Each structure stands twice: as C-alpha cells, then as structure tokens.
Amino acid sequence: MSTPDSDFISWADFERVDLRVGTILEVHPFPEARKPAFRLLIDLGPEIGLKKSSAQITALYTPETLVGRQVLCVVNFPPKQVGKFRSEVLVTGAADTEGRIVLASFAGPLPNGSRLI
C-alpha cells in the first residue's frame, strides 16, 4: 500500500517528534482507567528525568515483565490527564492481529535518553 503524496510529512516535521529511549522502573495497576492499563514510571536519562505514563499494554505484559524493559517514548506531547493520573509521555507500540499492543523494542540495550534519529 502506498501513501498518497498529500499524506507525506517533511523531514522537519519528523524531527519535531522527540522519541527517546527509557527504562521502566515501576509498574502499577490502573483500575480507574476506562480501558485496562498500567501506570508506568520511566527513566528517560539525565536530560529528561523520570516521567509517568499510562499505557494500555495489559494484554501481553505483566508488571514483572515490564520492570527493567526499555521502551521508546514520545516526550514532547503535552501531558494528558487520564482520570486522576497525569500521563507525561507516550509509550510507543503497534497492534498485533488481535489488537493487542506490542511495545516498540531494540536489538540491544541503549542509554536512557537516547534519541531516535
């Protein structure tokens, strides 16, 4: 499937999206969320620090499998209020054939805060 020319973005548009590597430090259930989710605390390195995120990744992951896992986060979206929780970054992934979110991952460990280029 090709992308219509009208859907193309410029390189400058892509560069504005700040995607960074972080390590999940804490995972907590989020029963107040409308859809099943976890509350995450992510270390995004010394420049960005610790950030919180709400992630709908409960179908394939448990808190035990998430702690210590590196994830790719969009760090320059505005914070989003999810119930009483303020989500500060967006954790990235893609839906599998059953609609379950599979986290974006890396072939090996990277320094927290590394930027996707």
pLDDT digits (tens, 9 = 90+) for 1-14: 566 777 899 999 99
Q: How many domains does the chain have?
A: 1
Residue 23: name the closest of 57, 70, 65 by CA. 70
Q: Does residue 22 belong to any structural domain of this protein?
A: yes
Query: Alpha-carbon distance 94 to 49, whole Å?
Result: 25
Which domain, by its residues, includes 47? 17-103
Q: Does residue 3 belong to any structural domain of this protein?
A: no
Global model pTM greater than 0.85:
yes
Q: Does residue 84 belong to any structural domain of this protein?
A: yes
Query: Alpha-carbon distance 16 to 82, whole Å?
Result: 24
CATH number for 26: 2.40.50.140
Q: Helix (H, G, I), strand (E, B), or coil: what is residue 52?
A: strand
Chain segment 56-76, per-residue pLDDT in tens: 999 999 999 999 999 999 999
Q: Does residue 113 belong to any structural domain of this protein?
A: no
Overall average pLDDT of the 16-35 stretch: 95
